[in-house]
Amino acid sequence: MIACLLIPGFELRAALRARPRLALVPAALSPEPGEEPVLGPVTAAAEAAGVKPGMRLGEALATCPSLVLVERDPAAVEREWEGVLRRLEDTGFAVDPVEQGAVIFETRGVERLYGGVQPALERALAAVGSAWDPRIGAASRRFTALAAASVARPGQILLVAPKEEESFLEPLPLSLLPMNPGRYAELEGLGLRSLGELSQLPGGAVAERLGVEGRDAWRLARGGRRTRVRGRRPAAELAEALVFPEAIANELTLRRALGSLLERLLARPERAGRPFRKLALAARLVDGGSWRRVATLRDATAEIGRLRAALGSKLQELPAPIVELRLEAVELAEHAGQQLALVEPAGEEAVVRLREGLRQVRASTGTGSVCAVVEVAPWSRIPEARALVVPKDV
C-alpha cells in the first residue's frame, strides 16, 4: 500500500522545539519577510481564539491581542525534517518527501518484516515520535493516501481499502486538491463543494472550463493515477561550516568566508569528483534566528569561480549579522567527468602546482598542518579577533 505521513504545521512545530511553552499559548508562525503579511501555521490555542493560518497579520492581532509571533527558523525546519526522514529510512522505508511535513512511502517492502501493513505503519509512527503528532493515511493511490492522512487524527492510521476509495473520497472537501486559491471559489460558485461532486462531472467539460489545472484536479478527485513511489536517495552529509567569534556583516569578510567553505567542500573525499548540482547556504544570525538559501546550478559544476558567482549574490540577502556560515551540498551530479577547457585561464598552471605542493606537505605532516588565514574582522581593536586560522584541505 502507499502511505502518507503528515505532520500539520511542521514549520511552526520545528520552530517551537526550542520554546515548547509557546505550544500551549496562542502563537503563530510569523509572515515570511518581504512577502505578503499573512500568518503561517498556528497553535491550537490560537485557533481556539479565532486565529487561522493564512489570516492577515493585522486581523490576527486584532482578533487575539495576546498572539505570540514565532520567528521563522528555516535551518531548524530543514534539520528537523531531515531527522524525521532519516528515522523513517532507518526503519526501512524508502521515503519520497512531498514537502516539509508530508512524506509518501510504500509498505510493500517492509510488510513481511513487520508482520503486515498495520504493524509496519505503527513502526513508522513510532519512528517519527508522538511529539510531532503525526498521522498516517494509506491506500492504493497517492492522492487517496494523502487525503486519508489529512482527515486522520493525531496518532491515527487510516487505511482505505481499494474498493472503498471512491466512496471515501466522495464527501471530502475540494480544499484537498492542489489548486490556486481562486479556483476553489470558482468551483464553489459552480455549486461544487466536494470531491464526489467534481468527479461526477464529465472530464472534458471540466478541462474546457478550468484548463489543465482543472483536469488534473478532476483526475485526483477520482483517485488519481496509480504510480509507484520512488524513494529518495539520501544525500551524504556533505557540509562545511565556519563559526565566527564575533558577529560579522561585512560583505568582503563574508565572501572570503564563503571562498574558504567552497575550498573545503570541494576537497571532501566523499564528493568523489562529482560536481555540484544544488547547494545550500545557511547562516545563524546574531539574534539566534537562522537564514537559508538554496542555489540550483544550471549546469553541474565544481569550478570554484562559477560556484562563487552563483552563491556570492545570496550573501547580500542576509537580514542581519551572522555568527555562523554553513555550506551544504544538497545534490551532486552522478557523473565525475569534467569538460576540459581548450585554453586554461591565466595562472591556472601555477595554481595546480601550488595545490599539488600543499598536498605533499599535508601528506607528510598530517591533517591540519596546512592552514589558511581567513580575515574575519580586520578593523577589530582586539588583535586576535581580526583573523582565524582554518585548516585547509587541498
Partner 1 sequence: MSSPALGRLNAPRPALVETGPGATPRIVNREGVTLVREEWRVVDRWWTDEPVDRHYFEVVLESGRNVCVYRDAEARCWFTQNA
What residue ranges bind partner 1 (CB under 8 A)? 237-243, 245, 264, 326, 328, 368, 371, 373, 381-391
d(CA 68, CA 26): 6
Q: For 234-246, b where at least 16 C-beta lie within 10 A, e where not — what string?
A: eeeebbbebebee
Calculate ∠ Cα 231-275-367, nearest 5°: 105
Cβ contacts of residue 164 below 8 Å, gap of 6+?
Answer: none
First-to-last C-alpha distance (Å) of the chain = 48
Q: Which is nearer to partner 1, 139 or 280 (CB)?
A: 280
Q: Which is nearer to partner 1, 354 or 371 (CB)?
A: 371
Work out how close the CB of 244 gets to partner 1 at its nearest, in angstroms, rounded to a whole number: 9
Work out how close the CB of 284 gets to partner 1 at its nearest, in angstroms, rounded to a whole number: 12
- Helix axes of 181-189 and 203-221: crossing angle, nearest 10 degrees: 120
Work out how close the CB of 387 gets to partner 1 at its nearest, in angstroms, rounded to a whole number: 4
Q: Which is nearer to partner 1, 130 or 365 (CB)?
A: 365
Work out how close the CB of 77 gets to partner 1 at its nearest, in angstroms, rounded to a whole number: 17
Calculate ∠ Cα 134-138-141, nearest 5°: 130
Work out how close the CB of 6 gets to partner 1 at its nearest, in angstroms, rounded to a whole number: 29
User: Would you say 139 and 2 are in contact if contact means Cβ atoms under 8 Å apart?
Assistant: yes
Q: Which is nearer to partner 1, 128 or 388 (CB)?
A: 388
* Measured CA distances, 130 to 135, 235, 252 (Å): 9, 26, 46
Work out how close the CB of 390 gets to partner 1 at its nearest, in angstroms, rounded to a whole number: 5
Q: Which is nearer to partner 1, 161 or 373 (CB)?
A: 373
User: Would you say 388 and 374 are in contact if contact means Cβ atoms under 8 Å apart?
Assistant: yes
Q: Which is nearer to partner 1, 76 or 239 (CB)?
A: 239
The tally of CA atoms less than 13 A away on the side-chain side of residue 125 is: 21
Work out how close the CB of 378 gets to partner 1 at its nearest, in angstroms, rounded to a whole number: 11
Work out how close the CB of 280 gets to partner 1 at its nearest, in angstroms, rounded to a whole number: 12
Q: Which is nearer to partner 1, 320 or 389 (CB)?
A: 389
382: its cell numbers: 582586539
Pairing of strands 135-139, 157-159: parallel
Q: Which is nearer to partner 1, 38 or 370 (CB)?
A: 370
d(CA 132, CA 10): 8
Q: Which is nearer to partner 1, 139 or 327 (CB)?
A: 327
304: nearest Cα among 362, 348, 343: 348
Work out how close the CB of 302 gets to partner 1 at its nearest, in angstroms, rounded to a whole number: 19
- Helices marked H in the chain: 10-16, 44-48, 57-63, 74-90, 111-114, 117-128, 142-151, 165-169, 181-189, 195-199, 203-221, 251-266, 304-312, 348-365
